[in-house]
Amino acid sequence: MVDIASSLSNLQEKLALILRRTALLEKENLQLKTSLSKEQRQVSDLMEQVQEGKSKLAAAMVNTANMNSTDKAQLVQKVDHYIKEIDTAIKNLNP
């Protein structure tokens, strides 16, 4: 009887340990899902910004044929600024 009682006790301890680990893993899984969802929204927002930037760039390229050199230089600076903002945002997503 002593062996059965100690075996049951040992089994109960192991089962309790497994249940605690399972609870911790479920909590971690939920946190990871939340974090993933947030990151996916940020990526989606950045992709929209990239598309918007591409559209603006395409429109600007059409208009550059009629621009003088000063206006073209300002446009290039704006485009460079947009690209730097996008690069910074992408770097922030990938720590």
pLDDT in tens, 18-36: 999 999 999 999 999 999 9
Parent domain of 28: 2-93
How many separate domains does the chain show? 1
pLDDT at 37: 93
Terminal Cα-to-Cα distance of the chain (whole angstroms): 58
The pTM score is 0.53
- The predicted-structure confidence for 46-79, as pLDDT tens digits, reads as follows 888 888 888 877 776 766 666 677 877 887 888 8
pLDDT at 54: 81
Residues 50, 86: contact at Cβ < 8 Å?
yes
Q: Which of 54, 55, 73 is nearest to 64 (CA)?
A: 73
